[in-house]
Structure 1
Amino acid sequence: MNQERESTYESTAYNSQKKTELTARKNRSNDSYFTRVARGNKLGLPKGAHCQEYLAEWQCNIFQQDALQTRKPAKRQCEEMRDPHLMEFWPTLFEWPVFAMILRHGIAWCAFAGGIGGALIMTFIGLIDGDINLKAILGLLQFFFLPFFIAWLVLKLATKGEPKLKKDTRFFRRTGMVSIYRKGQDRLEIPFEEFEPTMTYRTGAAGSTGFMLQLTHRQSDIVISHINDYPEEYQVYLEWERLHQFMDISQPLPDRIVTEPARQFDPVTAEYDRKTERPKHLWRDMDREELRERREAAKQAAKDFPWGKTREQALASGWKPSEQRINWQALKEKQQTA
């Protein structure tokens, strides 16, 4: 296994267990107020992944579990996700595949929640009043649901397969490098360990406040922003922790639903799964009710985690991980009666 590791990961790969001498930070004492605000506040977290409640991420849901039910080989699934055991990427809104995907989800909501949902509500009201207006219901489906459904279908076909992104920021686990897009120039590659995580506060058009994860380069003015705004601070901490664990070859890949097929292709992760006897299809074959319970417990555990402390310190202070927050006996009884 050691030979496999040496042949898989390059000497530049990031390893949190190795002490490296970083060059001094750039002197920012002359930065303006607005520049400091734009850079955000340092997260101030200890090195490593300590909470690890990745089921609490907003994108972890039953739809990802459904996606694992495909009969496609694991290798093919990984290719369609741009090989998540090799690369993590931060997209930008200013590319067609990303914009089209966001638009597709919005149209799907209009079609199914607005069209189908509206038709069901009108039917329910008609049943109560004893007068179902079939013409109005069909009109709603024809002029509201159908156009949105066709638009959703076209966008789904147009964005099928691997997204062809160009302007995204790429994080490579096996080399430890961050690849940054530069217009009209070759991509710039910088070691991951030269970046520091910061958090900025963003106010939306409606006045809502969100928190965004950024990476600030120690020796330059380069700042990389994550595409998502999060309503709660703990979500930013968790996002950074997941990225840090992904890049850290002393640790297995973060245990997420969507990337489960890729675990077998990363040597460190495969070895960890063998030692811990983790089922190969843990998330894919999990009972739906158990997945819901685990997800809710993970969200509460992530909210309660004393960020800024190590896992050992958190446990000593009384914090409970998600698996200790579930009433397993009640869950078992619920599953038996379902």
Structure 2
Amino acid sequence: MAEVWAAVGVVASIVQLVDFSTRVVSRLDEFCSVAKEIPKSFRHVKTELPLLATTLEQLKSAIDATSEANGSNKALLAVITGCNEQVAQLDAILEKTLPKASDSLRTKGMKAIASLHHDAKVESITTALQNYIGILTFYYAAASSTLQPLTDAKLCKIRQWLSAPDPSTNYQKALKLRQADTGLWFLESKEYTRWKTAATSPLWLYGIPGCGKTVLSSTVLHNVLEHCQGDPGKVTAYFFFDFNDAQKQNHEMMVRSLLCQLLQQSIRIPASLDTLFSSSENGQRQPSAHALLETLRSMIHELPQVYIVLDALDECAQRVELMETLEMIAE
């Protein structure tokens, strides 16, 4: 029942935001009819707001059409709230700077000059709206997707082609060694909370061999997996390097494993990976390490939020290549 109410809340918020953005566009149209031209910084907004409204309408239709519970509603509400705040800021700027038909020539001139001082803010709002539209488009695709990852033949073929080692065996082994409440001190720390909530936020844990880093990594991973559960916009990929497994000492195998995990959690085969697979003669030959890394970069950008957990970096045989890969991910 709670999920049903959440869906209703999302739909209601969408309707309100569509109405709000439509009114802002009308205000821009009114200004254009008065001044014959709108300030340069507002032109992109006039393009983005109708796109936002269209995306929201598509998302509403997809939510209305599905009868399944969707754990992404809470995340969607946050995105819609963020959109609403940006549109509200834009509306306030328009109220101050865009002249009306009833304004005197002097007032119109003063407002035109004042609008120039808001260029940077308007551009910032436009960028934020573009990001939100990207996220909403992702959720629309998730809500309307019919892909069945476990049965899609091409998906299975790509997974076989990647030939990635399975890090879940290391994860399960570490979980068995973990005692109840182990690592709670870390999960409750400010550093971990910041890493979990901030964008592009790397966090490095270090310690002497045998101090329990792998068990702590399993604690972190378990917490993150629970955090992402039910929300297609939040995904987790991980890798455990391992002295006892040659495949898990190779940084390229780590990249392949991360690609495979992101693929498994995607609502459809990502365009970047599909292109790489096709350019490799549909799996008849293997791609370069650089091509794999670039594809990983693209796949990360295609998702709203990605958590990556890596353990035992000192057990990787190619330290230089690994550090270059970590720098790319951190960017």
TM-score (norm 1): 0.23
User: Whose strand proportion is higher, 1 or 2?
Assistant: 1
Q: Greater relative contact order: 1 or 2 (C-alpha under 8 angstroms, separation 6 or more)?
A: 1
| Bigger-Rg structure (1/2) | 2
Determine which structure has the larger helix proportion and give its number. 2
